[in-house]
A and B are shown apart, each in its own frame.
Chain A
Amino acid sequence: MISAQSFGENGKMKDYHHTGPVEYRFSPYTFNGGTVLAVAGEDFAIVASDTRLSEGYSIHSRDSPKCYKLTDTTVIGCSGFHGDCLTLTKIIDARLKVLYFLVKCTWLHMYKHSNNKMMTSGAIAAMLSTILYGRRFFPYYVYNIIGGLDEHGKGAVYSFDPVGSYQRDTYKAGGSASAMLQPLLDNQIGFKNMTGVEHVPLSKDKAVQLVKDVFISAAERDVYTGDALQICLITKEGVKEEMVTLRRD
Chain B
Amino acid sequence: MSLFIFVGEYISALNHIFIDCIECIKHYFNCAVHKVSQIGGAVIFCLHHQTIYCKPKKSIERLLVSKMALASVLGSDYADFSFDTDKSYAFGSGLAAEPTSIDNLSFAIKGALGSAEQDDVEKKIEFLHGTTTLAFKFDHGVIVAVDSRATAGAYIASQTVKKVIEINPYLLGTMAGGAADCSFWERLLARQCRVYELRNKERISVAAASKLLANMVYQYKGMGLSMGTMVCGWDKRGPGLYYVDSEGNRVCGDLFAVGSGSMYAYGVIDSGLRQDMSVEDACELGRRAIYQATYRDAYSGGQVNLYHVHGEGWTRVSQDDVLLLHHKYQEKL
Contact = CB atoms under 8 A, between A and B. Distances in A.
A161 B179 contact: yes
B184 A138 contact: no
Given A8-B119, A161-B180, A167-B160, A136 B155 contact: no
Nearest to A133: B184
B66 A138 contact: yes
B263 interface: no
Contacts of A103: none
B180 A136 contact: yes
A1 interface: yes
Interface in A153-212: 159, 161, 163-165, 167, 169, 179
A167 B158 contact: yes
Contacts of B19: 2-3, 20
Nearest to B26: A3
Contacts of A161: 152, 157, 179-180
A132 B150 CA distance: 19
Interface string A86-110: 0000000000000000000000000
Interface string B173-198: 00000111101100000000000000
Interface size class of B (residues with CB under 8 A): 20 to 34
B224 interface: yes
Contacts of B69: 134-137
A132 B180 contact: yes
A164 B65 contact: no
Contact of A21 (B23, B121, B183): B23
Contacts of A1: 51, 115, 119
Contacts of A245: none
Nearest to B224: A137
Interface in A1-48: 1-5, 8, 20-21
A61 interface: no
Interface residues of A, number: 25
B119 A133 contact: no
Contacts of B158: 159, 167, 169
Contact of B119 (A4, A135, A163, A179): A4
B70 interface: yes
Interface string B64-103: 0110011001100000000000000000000000000000
A217 interface: no
Contacts of B121: 8
B33 interface: no
Interface string A102-135: 0000000000000000000000000001101111
A236 to B, nearest CB: 27
Nearest to B24: A21
Most buried by B among A138, A163, A179: A138
A167 B162 contact: yes
B119 A165 contact: no
A3 B23 contact: yes
Given A161-B152, A167-B161, A5 B119 contact: yes
A20 B19 CA distance: 8
Interface of B: 19-20, 22-23, 51, 61-62, 65-66, 69-70, 73-74, 115, 119, 121, 150, 152, 155, 157-158, 160-162, 178-181, 183-184, 223-225
The 8 A-B pairs of least Cβ separation, nearest first, read: A4-B119, A165-B179, A165-B180, A163-B180, A3-B19, A164-B180, A133-B184, A137-B65
Given A165-B178, A165-B183, 4 more contacts: A134-B69, A134-B73, A136-B69, A137-B62
16 contacts: A3-B19, A4-B119, A5-B119, A8-B121, A20-B20, A132-B180, A133-B180, A135-B69, A136-B184, A137-B62, A159-B158, A161-B152, A164-B183, A164-B184, A167-B160, A169-B158
